[in-house]
Amino acid sequence: MTDKLDPRAAGARRFKDKICVITGAGQGIGRATARRLGQEGGKIVIADRIDETATSTLKELHEHDVEATKVIVDLSTYKGAKDLMNEARSIFGRIDVLINNVGGTIWMKPFHLYTEEEVEMELERSLMPTLWGCRAVLPIMIEQQAGSIVNLGSQSVRGLYRLPYASSKGGILALGKVLAMEYGKYGIRINTMSPGGTDISDRITDRSFVRPGVIAEDPENADTFRKEMIEDITNQQAIKRRGTPEEQAAAIAFLASEDASFITGDNINCSGGQS
Ligand SMILES: NC(=O)c1ccc[n+]([C@@H]2O[C@H](COP(=O)([O-])OP(=O)(O)OC[C@H]3O[C@@H](n4cnc5c(N)ncnc54)[C@H](O)[C@@H]3O)[C@@H](O)[C@H]2O)c1
């Protein structure tokens, strides 16, 4: 864990004894964020619907003496989000930080090729878990008169071939702004961190896994769409490479921490200058 984080952690303990709930923490950016917040002293609640990967994150944190627990839950429903927050609170007594990280495009293709059901699946994957996560945690944070929420956006809001996913992430930008205005008076901050394309070397659960029994298939010409999309992204970048989960986790940690105590309703792009 330590060697993966090197200079960025710099010995900071910004989350000392803070209770941090991180969704989709079984792999990828969510897992890197769990490591980062844990390394900075946070007590971590790993939320994911896949037990195997959540358990592997938990094991890694425990090996590094980070206090952590896992909650296996489907966050595409309000019930799932409520169960997660209730369980986190019953174990640790409060929730200081919520990172709504679940999301990820299922398909890449022009909008007219999406079926009605596929559009709904994309919103279920990339908008609803954040919407429900915020809805479920706000009453707890209002009671505490404190809390910090970071939602994951994306550069797709200005890119090709992922319109339903982009609409979800555009919705997340909007809900972050509105919630910040509504809940600042309760000491709650809500921000968005929008990654650019990021290599996920520990991905076990593929994006094509929609739900048990439903695996998405690539459209015809998938390689052409993907190539065009990647060229479009690279052309927009000042730093022409993909990001790492640790770079994304560093930006998330900043927004979640008290270092960002006067920042709310805002968005940070971590994308090599793409925006
Ligand atoms: N990786 C990238 O290139 C990239 C770029 C821009 C934005 N993002 C955003 O960053 C976030 C993380 O991306 P990633 O690539 O690390 O994701 P990923 O697909 O590798 O991992 C997502 C995790 O969320 C879990 N998950 C999915 N649906 C769930 C549900 N309904 N309930 C509970 N858990 C669920 C999965 O099991 C998985 O562990 C996403 O919001 C994504 O949109 C990623």
Q: Looking at residues 138-150, what average pLDDT do you find?
A: 98
Lowest mean pLDDT among 6-15, 62-71, 83-92: 6-15
What are the pLDDT digits (tens) for 99-119? 999 999 999 999 999 999 999
Q: Residue 9: is its pLDDT beyond 90?
A: no
Contact between 243 and 249 (Cβ < 8 Å): no
165 among known catalytic residues: yes
| CATH T-level topology, domain 2-270 | Rossmann fold (3.40.50)
Structure tokens that stand for 215 in this block:
């695996």
The one catalytic residue among 114, 161, 165, 183:
165
| Domains of the chain by residue range | 2-270
- The response to whether residue 103 sits with its C-beta less than 6 Å from ligand 1 reads yes
The pLDDT score that the predictor gives to residue 11 is 78
What are the pLDDT digits (tens) for 35-48? 999 999 999 999 99
- The response to whether residue 26 sits with its C-beta less than 6 Å from ligand 1 reads yes
> Residue 222, class by beta-carbon neighbours within 10 Å (0-12 exposed, 13-18 middle, 19+ buried)?
middle
Residue whose C-alpha is closest to residue 68's, from 101, 26, 28: 26
The pLDDT score that the predictor gives to residue 275 is 73
Strand partners for 190: 149
- Counting atoms of ligand 1 from 1, which one is nearest the CA of 129? 31
Residue 65 Cα to ligand 1 midpoint, Å, equals: 25
Ligand 1 binding pocket mutation candidate from 205, 211, 234 (most atoms within 8 A of CB) = 205
- The response to whether residue 24 sits with its C-beta less than 6 Å from ligand 1 reads yes
Rg (CA), the chain: 18
The pLDDT score that the predictor gives to residue 271 is 98
Task: Please report which confidence band the pLDDT of residue 64 belongs to, taking 50, 70 and 90 as the band edges.
Answer: very high
Ligand 1 binding pocket mutation candidate from 22, 27, 123, 275 (most atoms within 8 A of CB) = 27
Task: Please report which confidence band the pLDDT of residue 1 belongs to, taking 50, 70 and 90 as the band edges.
Answer: low
The pLDDT score that the predictor gives to residue 168 is 98
Give the count of beta carbons closer than 10 Å to the beta carbon of residue 169: 24
H-type alpha helices, the chain: 2-9, 28-39, 51-63, 78-92, 116-126, 128-144, 163-183, 222-236, 245-256
- The response to whether residue 198 sits with its C-beta less than 6 Å from ligand 1 reads yes
Q: Residue 6: is its pLDDT beyond 70?
A: no
Which of 263 and 212 is assigned the larger pLDDT? 263
- Counting atoms of ligand 1 from 1, which one is nearest the CA of 80? 32
Q: Looking at residues 200-204, what average pLDDT do you find?
A: 94
- The response to whether residue 76 sits with its C-beta less than 6 Å from ligand 1 reads yes
- The response to whether residue 159 sits with its C-beta less than 6 Å from ligand 1 reads no
The pLDDT score that the predictor gives to residue 148 is 99
Strand partners for 72: 48
Q: Looking at residues 86-107, what average pLDDT do you find?
A: 98
